[in-house]
Amino acid sequence: MSDAPASARWRPLLALAALFLAVFFGWRGLTAPDPAPPLAPPVESYSTRAPTSVAGPDAPVEHYQGRAWDLYFTRPEHPAARSKRGGPDAYLAQALRTAQDSIAMAIYDLDLWSIRNALLDAYGRGVEVRLVVDEDHITPEVESLRAAGIPVVTDNGAGLMHHKFVVIDAAEVWTGSMNFTVSGAYRNANHLIRIPSRRLAADYLREFDEMFVDGRFGPASRADTPYPQVTVNRVPMEAWFSPDEHPQARLVPLLRSAQEDILLLAYTWTADPLTDALLERAQHGVSVRGWFETEQLDAAGHDYERLRAAGLAVAPDPFPGLLHHKVVVVDGQTVVLGSYNFTRAADVRNDENLLVVHDPDLAAAFYTWWQDHAVGP
């Protein structure tokens, strides 16, 4: 047995261990992925960011892709829209046909055969298909789904079941302003957005199950969104549902935070707190501009004339069909979208969904769409 102290006997082993650790952590430092880059810088000129549609010029749809979303605009002015084929519904129908496990759809109105047939196809393949529909819009297409065995739940009349969303395989969400109707996809100005995110899907599934399973609609709904804030491929998003979460409480400070520009693309606008916020920012030099649906300008409580009288550059929309968007873009950085009209009813009575997406690329897509169609302000 050696007479050397125990510490001396361990020194070679300790040296080898130290060398191994140095090499190992040095190698990890060389091969570790770079930290996620920051979000894109503020948009200095909207036109410099103008995104390009990846749909063909002859298609009745404009399709833009971002790092966290696919965005589809209807093209009611395009001659191809007369075919009633190939619009945003074609993309959604394809996604429904590839569903593997489940489809949960909450839709105010449905008469598109493309969507009906895709749901029947999925159900026939063993996919769990569930629907929530507004009680006043039980169309023949909805009845055919019910007759095939697909469960359909209607609201209780407390307010409108005004949602327009689909969750596929608990993994992706489709939402926006577009009802799944011929008018919604081919006659009116609308958008549809797809966002792949399991957490966002969990938010929308909770809202769906609250209606489908719990039978809670309108004021009976609960503020229980599991992930109110999510980040999808470095794009921060906020999920809001009404009437339980009163999205207006978020929209007022968002509008008041504007420093440069607010773009409005809105079917209607009767919420006085939102109007007050717009007027306050305009007084501080913020540009407020955009369109409202022409047929809604005479609706009770519409604030169009109040905004015009204050010098804001808002105008009736230029489309023969409806401008059905429910969109606000703030400073070219943040986009508000969903089924939520900017009204008191949407905030306190109807079942609605609203997304706040902090992404200059998405903002640029909406701004570009507005510029491409601008014949007004």
Name the residues annotated as catalytic: 324, 326, 331
Q: CA-to-CA distance for 360 and 331, rounded, in angstroms?
A: 9
61 contacts 75 by C-beta, under 8 angstroms: yes
Q: CA-to-CA distance for 195 and 55, rounded, in angstroms?
A: 18
Q: Which of 21, 205, 199 is nearest to 106 (CA)?
A: 205
What 3-state DSSP class applies to 360? Answer: helix
178 contacts 88 by C-beta, under 8 angstroms: yes
Q: Which of 360, 358, 355, 361 is nearest to 201 (CA)?
A: 355
Q: Which residues share a beta bridge with 329?
A: 263, 335
Q: CA-to-CA distance for 351 and 159, rounded, in angstroms?
A: 7
103 contacts 95 by C-beta, under 8 angstroms: no
- CA dihedral defined by 209, 210, 214, 220, rounded to 10 degrees? -170
| DSSP of 170-232 | TTEEEEES--BSHHHHHTSB-EEEEEE-HHHHHHHHHHHHHHHTT---GGG-----S-SEEEE
Q: CA-to-CA distance for 4 and 77, rounded, in angstroms?
A: 92
